[in-house]
Amino acid sequence: MSAEAAGDYDVVILGGGSGGYACALRSAQLGLKVALVEKGELGGTCLHRGCIPTKALLHAAEVADTAREGAQFGVKTTFESIDMAGVHAYKDRVVSRLYKGLQGLVKSGGIDYVEGSGALDGPNTVVVANRRLTGRNVVLATGSHAKSLPGLEVGGRIMTSDEALSIDHVPARVVVLGGGVIGVEFASVFRSFGAEVTIVEALPRLVPAEDEAVSKQLERAFRKRKIAFKTGVRFAGATQSGDVVSVSLESGESIEADLLLVAVGRGPVTEGLGYEAAGITMDRGFVPTDERLRTNVSGVYAVGDIVPGLQLAHRGFGQGIFVAEEIAGLSPAVIEESGIPRVTYCDPEIASVGLTEAEARETHGEIETQEYNLGGNGRSQILGTQGFIKLVRRKDGPVVGVHMIGARMGEQIGEAQLIVNWEAHPEDVAGLVHAHPTQNEALGEAHLALAGKPLHSHA
């Protein structure tokens, strides 16, 4: 059916974050007529309140630590203080450069960019103010928002990542509620900036979605960095008075701080947008899809954080591109959720792809694992970092999980994801020569060890 016969557009996309704009750009490249509706800023959470600004803060944190640690490398440096206005100016410069670039891409792509808050009116129409945008296909990409806990009101000294990103001073004491990705990244930044930090996590370990060995190593590293954490403890309540926020735990303990950062996860932005009325099946506010990202309503797709699963920008990009290609009839290959790489940018960095040891045992039964200590890796020693690369393979089969922790390990995820997604056997990777001295070499060495021919392996 042609676009003209069924509506004004081939694709109408609701939400211009990672998922939505990727879908718009790819659709336009494929010659489809596209409308992209955005009520806030093009680029969404990732560009304005997520990945990019937080990684700028983490880089500033690394610079602060480097200044503190110069003597370790024979360089005389001193750390003076953090100039938050300067940090924000740097962060905002990075964001605004990327924002301008993205706006240019959308403009030059011939996409009809519609500013305003949109809602579905039936399965193939998005209404924005007095405009009705009708599409042969509609893509829902309205993203997510920071959640809080029942009875915990955000405001004043109680913040989510949204507010914490533009805080104008370094708080002396911070309690971080939640030891997941966002929680440990902010804990890492605040500690490097000079704050006393305590993380409270209800589950038994930090970064509970990662392999258990990675959590243990992170906890060891955080102890060394004097980042306090309480795991297996539930939050009971928080009160603010004067300059202090008092956080009470179900254990009866109470912690005083200048700032409580609530990092307990992100909920879908789907309420009041006409999804249910259009007949779309919802699951606790999320939009379930099949593996081709189709909702239960024909012609309506969903991408990004509103689709149950990993809430990551590159998953949104991948899904957006997939849907554009699907609509254009290219039959793209299904995106395997377990093959999507995950990086947590705290210090030390965590990078992983595929199954944890526990998941692999459950899925495959007999497995083998190998931990390669970065103590044997020259480049990691030059950087002065500790950590490891852990491999999980199906017994006598391919590598099904790679788990890494140590400075800059996020940069190693590229090869790791090829290994897992291309179902390489350790013996295949062991035969590849890795450049020396790189941290990448540690991946090669881990595979040499798992293939039964270790070179620089330390216990």
Ligand X SMILES: Cc1cc2nc3c(=O)[nH]c(=O)nc-3n(C[C@H](O)[C@H](O)[C@H](O)COP(=O)(O)OP(=O)(O)OC[C@H]3O[C@@H](n4cnc5c(N)ncnc54)[C@H](O)[C@@H]3O)c2cc1C
Q: How far is the CB of 116 from ligand X (least distance, A)?
A: 7
CA distance 421 to 340: 9
Select 238 or 287, whichever has its Cβ closest to ligand X: 287
The tokens for 89 are 């100016």
Q: Which of 117, 231, 240, 246 binds ligand X (CB under 6 A)?
A: 117
Q: Is 95 in the site for ligand X (CB under 6 A)?
A: no
Q: Per the residue annotation, which of 145, 403, 436, 447 is the catalytic one?
A: 436
Q: How far is the CB of 458 from ligand X (least distance, A)?
A: 31
CA distance 426 to 158: 48
Instruction: Write the single-letter amino acid at 347.
Output: D
Identify the burial level of 364 via C-beta atoms within 10 angstroms of its C-beta, where 0-12 means exposed, 13-18 middle and 19 or more buried: middle
For 379-384, the CB contacts below 8 A with 24+ separation are: 379/437, 379/438, 379/439, 379/441, 380/406, 380/407, 380/439, 380/442, 382/437, 383/407, 383/408, 383/439, 384/69, 384/72, 384/73
CA distance 448 to 434: 11
**HSE-up (13 A, CA, CB side) for residue 66:** 8
CA distance 23 to 25: 6
Q: How far is the CB of 3 from ligand X (least distance, A)?
A: 21
Size of the site for ligand X (CB under 6 A): 37
Of 16-24, 198-206, 212-220, 425-433: span binding ligand X (CB under 6 A): 16-24
Site for ligand X in 346-405 (CB under 6 A): none
Of 10-18, 242-250, 389-397, 439-447: span binding ligand X (CB under 6 A): 10-18
Site for ligand X in 402-421 (CB under 6 A): none
Name beta bridge partners: 115: 38
Select 11 or 446, whichever has its Cβ closest to ligand X: 11
Q: Which of 347, 348, 370, 367 is nearest to 359 (CA)?
A: 367
Select 120 or 450, whichever has its Cβ closest to ligand X: 120
- Are 398 and 407 contacting, i.e. CB atoms less than 8 angstroms apart? no
> Which residues have C-beta within 8 Å of that of residue 188, sequence separation ≥ 6?
58, 61, 225, 227, 345, 346, 347
Q: Which of 12, 36, 111, 118 binds ligand X (CB under 6 A)?
A: 118
- Are 395 and 366 contacting, i.e. CB atoms less than 8 angstroms apart? yes
Q: Is 161 in the site for ligand X (CB under 6 A)?
A: yes
CA distance 144 to 311: 9
Q: How far is the CB of 420 from ligand X (least distance, A)?
A: 17
Select 178 or 304, whichever has its Cβ closest to ligand X: 304
Q: How far is the CB of 273 from ligand X (least distance, A)?
A: 5
Select 137 or 377, whichever has its Cβ closest to ligand X: 137
Q: Which of 18, 188, 412, 417 binds ligand X (CB under 6 A)?
A: 18
Q: Which of 65, 42, 43, 58 is nearest to 90 (CA)?
A: 58
Q: How far is the CB of 399 from ligand X (least distance, A)?
A: 23
Q: How far is the CB of 1 from ligand X (least distance, A)?
A: 26
Site string for ligand X, 126-145 (x = CB under 6 A): ---------------xxxx-
Select 309 or 398, whichever has its Cβ closest to ligand X: 309
CA distance 273 to 14: 10
Q: Is 295 in the site for ligand X (CB under 6 A)?
A: no
Query: What is the length of the chain?
Result: 459
Please state the φ and ψ torsions of residue 89, each to the nearest 5 degrees.
-60, -45
- Are 317 and 19 contacting, i.e. CB atoms less than 8 angstroms apart? yes
- Are 131 and 5 contacting, i.e. CB atoms less than 8 angstroms apart? no
Select 142 or 217, whichever has its Cβ closest to ligand X: 142
Is 447 a residue of the active site?
A: no
Q: How far is the CB of 288 from ligand X (least distance, A)?
A: 15
Site for ligand X in 173-202 (CB under 6 A): 182
Site for ligand X in 20-59 (CB under 6 A): 20, 37-40, 44-46, 49-51, 54
Site for ligand X in 303-342 (CB under 6 A): 304-305, 311-314, 316
Of 8-16, 96-104, 151-159, 365-373: span binding ligand X (CB under 6 A): 8-16
* Cis before 348 (ω within 30): yes
Q: Which residues bind ligand X (CB under 6 A)?
A: 14-20, 37-40, 44-46, 49-51, 54, 117-119, 141-144, 161, 182, 269, 273, 304-305, 311-314, 316, 345
What residues are labeled active site?
Answer: 436
